[in-house]
Amino acid sequence: MEIDDETINSTGEEEDKKKPIVAILVGAPGSGKSTFCDHVMRVSTRPWVRVCQDTIGNGKPGTKAQCLALSNTSLKEGKSILIDRCNLDKEQRSDFINLKNSHKVDIHAIVLDLPAKLCISRSVKRTGHEGNLQGGKAAAVVNRMLQKKESPKINEGFTRITFCYNENDVQSAMDMYGSLSSVNTLPGGCFGEKKTDSKVQVGIMKFLKRVDPPSKVTSDKTDKTDKTDETTPGPSNDGEEEKVPFENGIPTLGFPSISTADFQFNIEKASEIIVEKVEEFVNKIGNGRLVLVDLSHGSKILSLVKSKAAKKNIDPKKFFTFVGDITKLQSQGRLNCNVIANAANWRLKPGGGGVNAAIFDAAGPDLDTATKKQAGSLSPGTSITVPLPSTSPLFSKEGVTHVIHVLGPNMNPKRPNCLKDDYQKGCKVLRDAYTSLFENFASIVTIQEKISDSDGDVGTERNKKFKGFTEESESKKVNKEWGSWAQALYKIAMHPEKHGNGVIEILDDVVVLNDVYPKAQKHVLVVARAEGVDRLSDVREEHLPILRTMHAVGMKWAETFLKENESLIFRLGYHSEPSMRQLHLHVISQDFDSKHLKNKKHWNSFNSPFFRDSVDVMQEVSEDGKPKLNDDEKFMSMELRCNRCRSAHPNIPRLKSHIAICKSPFPDHLLQNGRLLHASTKL
C-alpha cells in the first residue's frame, strides 16, 4: 500500500482532531485482524480499546450486543475502538456504523482482503485461538464465510475505507494507524494499494465473485481467472448494490447513459426514458441484468435513475446503478459484465473522447477490426452487436465478450446533426436507441440460454464470459478439444484458493462447489483435483481411489443436507459425456424443484441412462477396469417420465406439477445398491 498521499492530517478544527475513531476490521478468519489490533494498541499514543467478540465474555466468546455495549462505554470515555469481528457483510457492520448516531466519531473500515489460501492456511495451523477456530474445521468455515462477503462502501456510513490485499498493505495500514496520536486524523475516502487516474488500485478475488449476487457458483460453467492487483472504483451511490460482483454466470449488460455527455441531452428527460425502457425490458432478458454505469460518485443521472427505478419497484437484482470505469468493471469493481454498451459516434470510429474513446482504447485494434466487419456507420436510435475477439484485452482481462455500439440523439450545437432542442424528436430517438440496445442484449442472452439448453450436462449455462458460442458443436464430440469456457472446472480444481467465493470445501483430492443454477433444492458438485481425468471416459482402475474419495465426500454432503431437511432424497452420479473438463460428481436431491430445470435435456440428463450412479461406476471400474458410458444422444430426447412412477408427461411444467405431488415409490433399480440416499439410510 502506498501512503505517500495518505499523509496523516493534523490540520482542521480542533474539535475534529479529537474525534474518537471507530475502526471496523473487515476480514475472514486468519486475515490478521487480532494482530492488527494488538500492533496498533501497542505502538499508538491514541487511547484504543479492542472490542473482540471471541473474548468479550470474561475471556470467552460473547455476543454482538456485548460488543456494542463495550463500544458505547469506551466512546463515552473518549477512547477510539477497534472492532475485531469478521464484519464481512453489510448487516454485520451496520450496528457499529450506527454508533455515530449517538457519538461524534469517525467511522473507518480496514479491509483485510488477503488471499483465501493464506487465511485458510493460517486458520488451520494456529493453536490456542481465542474463538477456537483452528485445525481441520477452519478451512470449511473460512470458505463458508467468504461466500457472504460484501465489500464495504462509503454509502454505508463510513468516513474512510482502507483496503489491504497483501501483507505489505496490512503492515502499512498498521503503521499508519499506530502513528495516530489523540489529535491526529486521517483523510476521508477510499484508499487502497495503488492509484491510477485517481482511482484506488486493489487486488481482487474474482468470482465468484461474491459474485454473485449473492451467491453460489455454477461449477459446471464458471471460468475463473487469476487475480492480480487491479483498480477498484470508489463506492457506488447505489445503496442496494449487494455483492453484485459475485453474481457470476449471469449475463449482464453494463451501459452508460446515452447522449447525456457529449451530446448534451437533458438529464431529467434521459433518466425518465432509461427507467421507462428498463421497466419494459427487465422481464424480457431472461436471467440477465442491466447495469447503468457512470464514473462519478456524484453522478446526477445515477441518482435520478436510481430514485425513479425504486418508485417503479424495479427488481434491484435485475437492474441497478454502478460507479466505475465501464472498461474495468471486473478488475475495478468486481462486477462482471459480459456485454458493455458503447456510446458510439455515427462513423463507428475510435477516438473523439468519452466512453467511445475509452472502450476502443481498452479493447485494442481488435474491436475496430471486428466493428468494420459489422457496419461502416450507425444511424441515431440504432445499435449493432460486435462479438469481441478473445485476443482483445477487454475480453481477456475484463470478461467482455460483446460490445454493443449504440447511437443516440445529438443536442450539442457544436456537433453535426444537432436537433436544436427538438426534444419531441430527441426523446423518440433516445427511446429507439435504448430499445435497440436492450433488444440486442436480449438476443445475446437468448443465444446463451439456447446453448445451455442444448447441453446434456446440467448446470452448464456456460461460464461468466459466455465463451462457448461457436464451440458448442465441438463440445459434443467424444474426442473433443475443450473450449475455453469448458476449462472452468479444471482451473478451479487446480487452484481452488483463487476461487474462494465459489468453493465450499477444499480437500487434497477434491473440491466441492455449489451450482448457481441448481436443478433441485440441493445440488453440489464434487470435482476431482487429479490431472488427466477430464471425464468419465478417462477413468481406469488406477483412478478407483479418487472415485471412492469423491463418493465419500458426496455422501458426507448429502448427510449434511439431510440433517437440515429429512424429507430430501439424494442421488450421486456422473454424466456419461460432460461438457466441462475435469471429472465431477453430481450430488443432487430428487425433488428437482428448481426454476433452472427448463427443458427435456435438463431432465433426461439426470433421469435417463445418461446419468451413471456413482456406486455402479465404482463397481464397474473395480471389476472391468473402466465404467460403462451411455452417451448416446437418444437419451436426451427421451419422453419426459416421472422419476418415481414413470408416468409420461408432455412438457416440463406438467411434469413438475406431477412430481410435486407424486408419492409413488422409486423404481426398483434405484432402490437397490445404495443408489438413493435418504434420512433412514445409514450413511
Q: Which residues are catalytic?
A: 584
Count of other CB atoms within 10 angstroms of residue 370: 17
Three cell numbers written together for 631: 452417451
For residues 500 and 512, give the distance between their C-alpha atoms in angstroms, rounded to a whole number: 11
**Residues contacting residue 364 through CB under 8 Å, at least 6 positions apart:** 391, 392, 393, 394
Three cell numbers written together for 65: 450486543
Let me know: does 525 contact 580? Beta carbons within 8 Å: no
Count of other CB atoms within 10 angstroms of residue 92: 17
Q: Which secondary-structure segment (H or E) carries 552?
A: helix 544-564
- Among 338, 317, 307, which Cα is nearest to 242's? 317
Q: Which secondary-structure segment (H or E) carries 21?
A: strand 21-26
Let me know: does 588 contact 606? Beta carbons within 8 Å: yes
Three cell numbers written together for 602: 435438463
**Sheet of 383-387: strands edge to edge?**
319-323, 289-294, 252-255, 339-343, 402-406, 383-387
Single-letter amino acid code for the residue at 213: P
Let me know: does 460 contact 452? Beta carbons within 8 Å: yes
Let me know: does 394 contact 367? Beta carbons within 8 Å: yes
- Which residues sit opposite 586 in a β-bridge? 525, 573
Let me know: does 610 contact 527? Beta carbons within 8 Å: no
Q: What SS3 state is found at 527?
A: strand
**Residues contacting residue 424 through CB under 8 Å, at least 6 positions apart:** none
For residues 42 and 288, give the distance between their C-alpha atoms in angstroms, rounded to a whole number: 51
